[in-house]
Amino acid sequence: MLLSSLVEPLKALLQLCISTIHWIVAGVFAKVCFWDGGAKRGTNSWAVSRKPSQKRDQTAPIPKSVNYHFTRKCNYKCGFCFHTAKTSFVLPFEEAKRGLKLLKEDGMEKINFSGGEPFLHEKGEFLGKMVQYCKVDLQLPSVSIVSNGSMIKEKWFQKYGDYLDILAISCDSFDEETNQLIGRTQGRKSHLDSLYKIRSWCQQYKVAFKINSVINTFNIDEDMTEQIRQLDPVRWKVFQCLLIDGENAGETALREAEKFVISDQQFQEFLCRHSDVSCLVPESNEKLYFASCLFMNVFICETARNALNPGEPKNTFLCFL
């Protein structure tokens, strides 16, 4: 019984490890091809698309599901955050579009835009244009966003709602004071007001509504059953607070999230308390940890055989989950 309950998680972990190794190997291979191809180094121009002679490495896994963290800037200060504002660099729109097109050519079916706070850059216009491009031009079956919700206006739904399939709003507590303590807020503005407002806009503009929660020392004893039932998301993703060296732990990190970390047993207890909530989907740390990361501008360069502009920060990364 114990053995059989371990088999599935171990299989999933093994698959994720293999997938990660594949990407590392594929990345190295792409670089070798790139150099062998005699690409011009130091050029500023970006290829519009993969050249016909450039065949995709057939052994590389297909990036079906992509997370694009195009900005690191945020208006919130969640103390546990693992994607911190280490640079303010955002890849220009045309380049981002090219990267997305190349990913589509490689088999991408699902795109999720995240950050930082994705609605912050150009007041959500940059995000809206990417969402529209992915739905209309690339015809992706699934286009989604993860946001803290604080910057979203109804006007955005009116303009771009038709192109968005899913909107996930992060909420770690239904107690405003706890949100303040976590840092999931801007000044004294109510995070919960934004959450409820967006829930009704999602209904009105026919966008599927999801909730993400990070379980940490500040909300570990909360029972969120009633509020989640009332909000009725299509999915409630529950994460165990994760430490990433250089992001929210270690000497070079901008955040120190150690005091937010909970044990595996505490996380299980939280899940048990909410076992009646059918939309709950636990996200294990292993899945997040073994997601493969690439930088969008490096990906474009490798695929299109251009060189990265000297000094250009490589902050916009992708995870294939």
Residues of the shown chain interacting with ligand SAM in the complex, contacts defined by CB under 6 A? 74, 80-83, 114-115, 117, 146-148, 170, 212, 214, 239, 241-242, 248, 257
Q: Is 83 in the site for ligand SF4 (CB under 6 A)?
A: yes
Q: Alpha-carbon distance 226 to 277, whole Å?
A: 9
By the rule CB under 6 A, 115 interacts with ligand SF4: yes
* Catalytic residue flag (residue 202): no
173 binding ligand SF4? (CB under 6 A): no
Residue 213 token pair: 């929660």
279 is catalytic: no
Of how many residues is the chain composed? 321
Pick what 242 binds: ligand SAM, ligand SF4, none; C-beta below 5 to 8 Å, kind-dependent: ligand SAM
Q: Which residue has the tokens 């079916």?
A: 109
Q: How far is the CB of 98 from ligand SF4 (least distance, A)?
A: 25
Burial of 80 (0-12, 13-18, 19+ CB in 10 A): buried
145 contributes a contact to ligand SF4 by CB under 6 A: no
Q: How far is the CB of 121 from ligand SAM (least distance, A)?
A: 12
Closer Cβ to ligand SAM, 215 or 298, answer by number: 215
Q: Could you give the CA distance from residue 176 to residue 169 in angstroms, rounded to a whole number?
A: 16
Q: Which is nearer to ligand SAM, 219 or 248 (CB)?
A: 248
Task: Give residue 120's Cα distance to chain centre.
Answer: 15
Least distance in angstroms from the C-beta of 149 to ligand SAM:
8
74 noted as active-site residue: yes
Residue 134 or 152: the one with the smaller Cβ distance to ligand SAM is: 152
Residue 128 binds ligand SF4 (CB under 6 A): no
Nearer to ligand SAM, 160 or 239 (CB): 239
Which one of residues 68, 76, 174, 290 is an interface residue with ligand SF4 (CB under 6 A)? 76
Q: How far is the CB of 315 from ligand SF4 (least distance, A)?
A: 13
Residue with smaller CB distance to ligand SF4, 115 or 233: 115
Q: Which does 297 bind (CB under 5 to 8 A by kind): ligand SAM, ligand SF4, none?
A: none
Spatial CB neighbours of 96, under 8 Å, sequence gap ≥ 6: 68, 70, 130, 296, 316
Q: Within its chain, how far is the Cα of 310 from the centroid?
A: 27
Burial classification of residue 92, based on how many CB atoms lie within 10 Å of its CB (0-12 exposed, 13-18 middle, 19 or more buried): exposed
Minimal distance, residue 83 CB to ligand SF4, in Å:
6
Compute the CA torsion angle 16, 20, 21, 24 (nearest 10 deg): 170
Q: How far is CA 2 from CA 7, 56, 135, 281, in A?
A: 9, 42, 45, 22
Amino acid at 71: T
Are the C-beta atoms of residues 12 and 282 closer than 8 Å to each other?
no
Residue from 78, 134, 202, 241 carrying the catalytic annotation: 78
Q: Which residues here bind ligand SF4, judged by CB under 6 A?
A: 74, 76-78, 81, 83, 115-117, 148, 184
Q: Which residues are catalytic?
A: 74, 78, 81
